[in-house]
A and B are shown apart, each in its own frame.
Chain A
Amino acid sequence: MNARPPPAGADAAWTLIFACWVIATASTLGALFFSEIMNLPPCVLCWYQRIFMMPLVVILPLGLFPFDRGVLRYGLALTAIGGLIALYHVLLVHGVVPESLQPCRQGVSCKDQPFVVAGFVTIPLLSFAAFTLMGALLLAARRRSHR
């Protein structure tokens, strides 16, 4: 950043997008840990969330080096859809959405949670928290880098 001065707020936006990437990468590695190391088979809804989580690991750094605020558009689209799927999954696990609606077939149930910490933290809840946090960070980055 010696040739052209960066737009105001770009530094803060860079840091926010970087934080978002850290969450996406940690979540991706966490998901891989559950399926590949702990051998918990991902259900259909988990796969859809993975589809919207994993591209962020690649796309966000492309907007960091060099800084390109256009990445916020792509990142927010993925985060919003992934977050909606995660929300649906959380509601399903907690019985708000009736089980008959669940699109899971073939063995692995989306409702039965094999991994529960402290009585309520399930994998879909972790996913929802990650998507929500990433969405908030990207929105904040967008506000900072405006103009």
Chain B
Amino acid sequence: MNRTFVFVATAAALVVAFVVGAILYRSARLEQQGAAAGANAEVFSRAHAPTLGSPQAKVVVVEFLDPACGTCAQFYPHVKALVRDNEGRVRVVIRHIPLHPGAGDVARALEASRKQGRYWQTLEALLSSQDRWVENHVASIERAWPVLAESGLNVDQLKADMNDPEVARNLQADAADAKALNVTMTPEYFVNGRPLPSFGLEQLRALVAQAVRDAY
């Protein structure tokens, strides 16, 4: 048999196997995630999680977020815009999964900032100044203190609140739900319990628009 033909056919077969495998894997994973979301419907309505937008909004976007995650920071203004542009119809619920090394402490500080009623200000301050306290994907709470102080928090109070058992309880609940939903990356979005078909801002916008059309 012609050697060139054998080579080209083998190369093509390997590439086709890769593409078919990728498509099968993605659809299986999406199905599995959707099934996990369906079986764990209560994880999308945890009372403890911070919520942006009207509590009556029928479209609920649950975002799993790491304060040290750069993509989360880039998505944040757009997620906020989704709530603003669909006023009263869309709300965002933030769940914390600090995946980066050192991000656990920052997530505790973020959780604790709620005791001073400054969760969203703190989140925005942290996300917009990641370059000051995240280096090489490693977060440092020491370097985040000045950012937190500048955002208007009482840092002494914050440090005390970080040891509150409620803070640990909330973070544990978030981690448990992330595990139940098989969330391993941030940001991860669920719109009324449905995962994004593939990752991307346009996919998120489309899924939210679809959910708004379905609900109103």
Contacts and interface: CB of A to CB of B under 8 A. Distances in A.
A128 interface: no
Contact of A22 (B14, B21, B26, B101): B14
A75 to B, nearest CB: 16
B56 interface: no
A61 interface: yes
A22 B17 CA distance: 13
Measured as residues with beta carbon below 8 angstroms from the partner, the interface class of chain B is 20 to 34
Contacts of A48: none
A61 B26 CA distance: 31
Given A22-B14, A107-B100, A107-B101, A61 B22 contact: no
A64 interface: yes
Nearest to B10: A22
A2 interface: no
Interface in B76-119: 100-101
A37 interface: yes
A18 B7 contact: yes
A38 B184 CA distance: 11
A25 B185 CA distance: 28
A100 interface: no
Contacts of A14: 3
B14 A106 contact: no
Centre residue among A26, A29, A61 by max chain B CB count within 10 A: A29
B7 A29 contact: no
A29 B18 contact: yes
B3 A64 contact: yes
A81 to B, nearest CB: 24
Contacts of A29: 14-15, 17-18
A33 interface: yes
A34 B17 CA distance: 14
B11 interface: yes
A37 B137 contact: no
A64 to B, nearest CB: 7
Contacts of A65: 3-4, 7
A61 B4 CA distance: 10
Contacts of A87: none
B13 to A, nearest CB: 10
Given A18-B7, A33-B25, A107-B100, 15 more contacts: A25-B10, A25-B14, A29-B18, A32-B18, A37-B26, A38-B25, A39-B184, A39-B185, A64-B3, A64-B7, A65-B4, A65-B7, A106-B101, A107-B101, A107-B138
Interface of A: 14, 18, 22, 25-26, 29, 32-33, 37-39, 61, 64-65, 106-107
9 contacts: A18-B7, A22-B14, A25-B10, A37-B26, A38-B25, A39-B184, A39-B185, A65-B4, A106-B137
**Leading 9 A-B pairs by shortest Cβ distance:** A29-B18, A37-B22, A25-B14, A37-B25, A29-B14, A107-B137, A106-B137, A22-B10, A107-B101
